[in-house]
Structure 1
Amino acid sequence: MKQTAVIVCPGRGGYNKPELGSITERHLPKQSDLINQLDKVRENEGFISVSELDQKSKFDHRLHLKPENSAALIFAAGYADFKAVDPEQYDIVAVTGNSMGWYTALACAGVWQPENAMSIVTDMAKRTAAADGAQLIYPIMNEQWQPDKTREKAVSQMLEQHAGELFLSIRYGGYVLLAGTQNAVTTASKALEPVDNRFPMILPGHAAFHSPLMKEASDQALSVWDSSHFRQPELPLIDGRGVIWEPPGCHLDALQRYTFGHQVTEYYDYTKAITVALREFAPDKLLLLGPGNSLGGATGQSLVAANWRNLSSKDDFTQRQESEEAPVISLGL
């Protein structure tokens, strides 16, 4: 029996050393036409092709994590995973994503053709990476994925103390990402209580994504990528505010303004997007696109936060995932 599913697209940071070769391994030769199309776009615009990057013998941090390369790899892997979903097994009822995953979601929903999406993804990666500032990630949950009020309060205090320089960037399951000036992010990273000898973690190579420091990149994108590059989605889209864009009545000018305006300069609420997906579409499964499984933890935490089907802790989620009723499927694995 066919199951309903919401497609979830990963953001920055999905393609790392363990994912090297994954596009070739998972999607060739079945999707060679798609990969060739994306490679031609890259080559015509003067960039190294996705295939050449994916087929390198060794992972090169400077090459593979260069924003315009990393974004292209993440988009290509995710979109290829989407095209490989068996329509006889799953009825796709909506699409959402995290951060840069909004661009992949637009392509999956048919708003952009994959070739156009690759051009936009590459361009936006360059524009936003060139902006000022930094970004850090910090957990606001305990070990069982329940809210930690002390950490939440500490984050709120940091935002108040550095108002105008430090901003909420992404709500990501049991984590928050903060973005701002280099000084504000560094100060916050020293002030927040350490967790697990890992957090707070300043994310290498990240600018102040999803914050007002992205305004110049946003203004440039709004002028370059006008609404003529958009068309009506074929599937409902859930954006980073939890707003649903329902076909066929989407106002394309508004979709363009959100995509290159609010989505770039304001915080992205991945937790809310997942909550809306669950409550408005009640899918049997959430299908997480690759590469890898970067969305797995935050998605599970979002289910627990929503108390989805009585999931109230990490142990609940883990037990459910090990059953036939597993709500989350990571296609990248």
Structure 2
Amino acid sequence: MTKTAWVFPGQGSQALGMGIDLQDISLAKSKFEIAEKVLGWSILDICQGDDETLARTLYTQPCLYVVESILVDLLTERIGLPQLVAGHSLGEYVALYAAKVFDFESGLKLVKKRAELMDSAAGGKMAALMKFDRSQLMTALTETSDVVLANDNSAGQVVISGTPEAVAEILGKVKAKRVMTLNVSGAFHSPLMQEASEQFLDVLNSVNFNDAQVPVLSNVEPTPATSQEELKRRLVQQMTGSVRWREIMLQFSQSEITNIIEVGPGKALCGLIKRTCREIKLETVGTVVQLNAKTLVMSS
């Protein structure tokens, strides 16, 4: 029996030109117009502007949310809902939208506020480590204050987040084949985002949540949930909590998922899943061409 999950990438997966091929589809036009009213700027203008502007958190997160949500609508219209959804960091908001937890505009208002708060965060640093000694890293994190494991992406790839001094201390202690400092202003997914998280609560509490029509795997607790109270509680913790993507991938196998579609630009999540869940069939839907190809296969 086929069991499908949809996954949604977050910040870092954006690409210049994303969403442009959607602009002539009436459903997409409507969403782009709503987005411009909520944001005060055009998603399409930013997506066909320059890399530096698109890469700024203030613009990246709403652009990804809008483009991925439109793809969700088109995919749902053509093949129906999947059996499970999950999103990486910002992608979790699209997962909740796909599961009908909140409407498009409410989700965008949340993402807008989140992007503003994260864009204005300062004084933090994040670094990615590839091919490292996990026990050595975990020991170092335990012994060092003001730095945490922010993204546990896979067995061989993580991101640490904290003060610049603490991050440098970890990098001096842990051997890794490759280290990459991330181009972000703050220490995302760490306790240093507590103040931003508290400010975000005002907007979050104003949004009406529904029970999910499809189970959602949350970043901070990678077990299937549909309860609106539970999903909101998990989202409250997301800005300061770790993205436990490695555990989410293991949950796909435990939930007997056979097919996964990465909905959005690129194939970063498929790359991680491929190395962890070799038995699962992977596809990407980030363009109209890919969407039409997927629909054609389903109807044949």
Instruction: Confirm or deny a common fold (TM above 0.5).
Output: yes
Work out whether residues 217 and 224 of structure 2, in 8 Å CA contact, stay in contact via their aligned partners in 1: yes
Three-state SS of the structure 2 residue aligned to 1:200 is: strand
C-alpha RMSD over aligned residues: 2.3
Task: Tell me how many residue pairs correspond in the alignment.
Answer: 284
Three-state SS of the structure 1 residue aligned to 2:261 is: strand
Work out whether residues 161 and 189 of structure 2, in 8 Å CA contact, stay in contact via their aligned partners in 1: yes
Three-state SS of the structure 2 residue aligned to 1:160 is: helix
1:170 aligns with 2:124: no
Q: Paired residue for 1:330?
A: 284
Question: In structure 2, how many angstroms separate the alpha carbons of the residues matched to 1:153 and 1:212?
Answer: 22
Q: How does 1:227-246 map to 2 (within 5 A)?
A: 228-240=207-219, 241-246=221-226
1:264 aligns with 2:239: yes
Work out whether residues 62 and 108 of structure 2, in 8 Å CA contact, stay in contact via their aligned partners in 1: yes
Q: Paired residue for 1:129?
A: 119
Q: Paired residue for 2:17?
A: 21
Three-state SS of the structure 2 residue aligned to 1:265 is: coil
Question: In structure 1, how many angstroms separate the alpha carbons of the residues matched to 2:100 and 2:194?
Answer: 27
Question: In structure 2, how many angstroms separate the alpha carbons of the residues matched to 1:130 and 1:40?
Answer: 25
What letter matches 1:12 in structure 2? Q
Q: Percent identity?
A: 21
| Residue 188 (structure 1) aligned to one of 159, 170, 176 | 170
Work out whether residues 242 and 269 of structure 1, in 8 Å CA contact, stay in contact via their aligned partners in 2: yes
Q: Paired residue for 2:28?
A: 34
Q: Paired residue for 1:153?
A: 135
Displacement, 1:129? 3.2
Q: Structure 2 vs 1, CA of residues 73 and 220 (structure 1 numbering), >3 Å: closer, same or farther?
A: same
Q: Structure 2 vs 1, CA of residues 245 and 237 (structure 1 numbering), >3 Å: closer, same or farther?
A: same
Question: In structure 1, how many angstroms separate the alpha carbons of the residues matched to 2:67 and 2:229?
Answer: 28
| Residue 71 (structure 1) aligned to one of 58, 61, 70 | 61
Three-state SS of the structure 1 residue aligned to 2:82 is: strand
Three-state SS of the structure 1 residue aligned to 2:75 is: coil
Q: Structure 2 vs 1, CA of residues 175 and 206 (structure 1 numbering), >3 Å: closer, same or farther?
A: farther
| Residue 46 (structure 2) aligned to one of 53, 73, 94 | 53
Displacement, 1:3? 4.4
Please list every run of 5 or more consecutive structure 1 residues that lacks an aligned counterpart in the other structure. Answer: 141-147, 310-325
Moved more, 216-225 or 85-94: 85-94
Displacement, 1:224? 2.6
| Residue 199 (structure 2) aligned to one of 220, 237, 248 | 220
- Name the TM-score, length of structure 2 as normaliser: 0.86
Q: Paired residue for 1:145?
A: none
Work out whether residues 125 and 161 of structure 2, in 8 Å CA contact, stay in contact via their aligned partners in 1: yes
Work out whether residues 40 and 49 of structure 1, in 8 Å CA contact, stay in contact via their aligned partners in 2: no
Displacement, 1:223? 2.5
Three-state SS of the structure 2 residue aligned to 1:245 is: coil
Three-state SS of the structure 2 residue aligned to 1:172 is: strand
Work out whether residues 98 and 268 of structure 1, in 8 Å CA contact, stay in contact via their aligned partners in 2: yes
What letter matches 1:103 in structure 2? Y
